[in-house]
Chains A and B, each alone.
Chain A
């Protein structure tokens, strides 16, 4: 997994609440057996019309937003299915950070397993950042400092220390957990005794 340290980009703003995983990556793209290549299908039904032609007015189809690394969206982002294809599609498109007032649980977790930083901030801060998106100005994200800077302003954000560490170091969870095998074995021994039917 790639490390996440700092990020600078003009953010793209999609002012919709409840953006669900079917919107982020529709089911016809779930048939892949790979993690890559989904970027061109991100937000497919909003990006292309029924004949597959690009819809001009959709923000990610336009300069400079087609190169945005930061997405700003309405509350409850990522609700719906557990499909990790959603963060894979965002990442493949180039988005490494999503900012919202709230996220759905499974999506939020999935981000950290893919080196994407989901940031929760309040409604007013979203408004401030959205105006930077509109003016096509860059914002800066510093994970170590837990700060978003825009112009001369700063927004601080909260993040779980262990999740932060994983992003900063690009750590693989499985590797970490495999170090705990002796504890897992111990657990399994008592499980076998207490609940032999498992």
Chain B
């Protein structure tokens, strides 16, 4: 029977399955960060359990770390305790840790692929919903809760039920100024934040094929924002090239064997999908979100929608609530929305290609005088690369702050936060109430659109930067 890519990886990892379809799935790669792991290690300790395969887990502190000078350590007592606890746990259980001052430290979903720890055809889990990012390499990657982190540590497996197959095809040519961030926002805007619930989404079509692997990561990263368990993209020559000579990539004879097996990772021609959606690239414009759910998208040339036109009562209530929180009026022009802050970073858009693109648009210009803007590279290695290319200087000369790597204002667990009513054009993935700081107002955008907003001081069209 023809199989989908998801079916293939799933079958490949089945340790056991009972009559009700509860499967025990083998986990090849496990990523751990400081926020969702302390209670899991504590659980192991209380039961006197060991980590079954410590070498298959990689740990990094990212959510709580300061993005300013780190030489003085972490000021916030609780953040420090969490980072210290991770260090102690890794030591006790024999887990590889990229600590705060390691130059490889960075956002968990950026360092995995960067090191070659992430690999095609593997099952990858992490106590973090954006684990979906790694699906860009053809690995089945998804977020789990802390009890499941503990389960993986103890058994190197996970109890799972199989999801349904969903394929999103994006075909055609992307118009100028439109990036993979706009593609995924368009997809979420089309199928809704619960559109993918119970499914694994495979992204296909020539637009996806033509994207670089880093751009594909942006798409898979936000799959969870459409409610799906995981996002998948079939690996190809670009994927294989990406993993050549990464520190943790297979070496020598193993490399050849791995490549051979990676080439079999695709959905068979007649494979059945439970759901399929087609998107035409020409219908995608540079997008922004206006509300507090990632599905609340509008073209930059558009208007804030009018809840009165909404027929679904729940949706109407939600829209009014969003608009009130966001401090916006129905029907106002999106380009009339004034911003206070700009954030370029996160596991969605904190990679070298994102920074290169933003810098190319910013070169020789200055940001609006009343805007405060920052760039937070996704990892220490991304930062180093950018500095070697002189990208940091372009940002700094334009008026951006150039920071140390971490999650930063994507969720504001460290001191990088919006204050109440502050409005931010952000390249991150969630615009939930309070996400970037209590009362803070988030507009999700692509890196290019973040630059446009920085230059104008308003949400602005990347196509109009000259």
Q: Which residues does A use to contact B, with CB under 8 Å?
A: 15-18, 20, 22-23, 26-28, 30-35, 45, 50, 74-76, 79-84, 87, 102, 104-106, 109-110, 113-114, 160-162, 173-174, 177-178, 180-181, 183-184, 187-188, 191, 195-198
A16/B39 contact (C-beta < 8 A), A82-B127, A114-B147 known = no
A197 touches B258 (CB 8 A): yes
B188 to chain A, nearest CB (A): 12
A16/B318 contact (C-beta < 8 A), A22-B433, A31-B64, A174-B49 known = yes
In the complex the two chains form, what is the Cα distance from A84 to B255 in whole Å? 38
A179 to chain B, nearest CB (A): 10
Query: What are 14 residue pairs bridging A and B, where the CB atoms are less than 8 Å apart in the complex?
Result: A18-B318, A30-B413, A31-B64, A31-B78, A32-B38, A33-B82, A84-B36, A84-B147, A87-B145, A109-B144, A114-B147, A173-B151, A174-B151, A180-B157
B318 touches A162 (CB 8 A): no
A45/B434 contact (C-beta < 8 A), A106-B143, A178-B155 known = yes
A106 touches B144 (CB 8 A): yes
Dominant SS at the A interface? loop
A23 touches B81 (CB 8 A): no
Q: Which residues does B use to contact A, with CB under 8 Å?
A: 15-16, 18, 20, 22, 24, 26, 28, 35-36, 38-39, 42-43, 47, 49, 52, 63-64, 76, 78-79, 81-82, 85, 119, 122, 127-129, 131, 143-148, 150-151, 154-157, 159, 161, 163, 193-194, 197-198, 227, 229, 250, 254-255, 257-258, 261, 293, 314-315, 317-318, 321, 411-413, 420, 430, 432-435, 438-439
The 8 Å CB contact of A26, one of B18, B20, B434, is B434
A113 touches B229 (CB 8 A): no
B438 touches A50 (CB 8 A): yes
In the complex the two chains form, what is the Cα distance from A172 to B71 in whole Å? 43
B193 touches A177 (CB 8 A): no
In the complex the two chains form, what is the Cα distance from A198 to B293 in whole Å? 38
In the complex the two chains form, what is the Cα distance from A24 to B194 in whole Å? 18
Residues of chain A contacted by B119 (CB below 8 angstroms): 197-198
Residues of chain B contacted by A17 (CB below 8 angstroms): 314-315, 317-318
B434 touches A23 (CB 8 A): yes
A105/B198 contact (C-beta < 8 A), A173-B147, A184-B157, A198-B28 known = yes
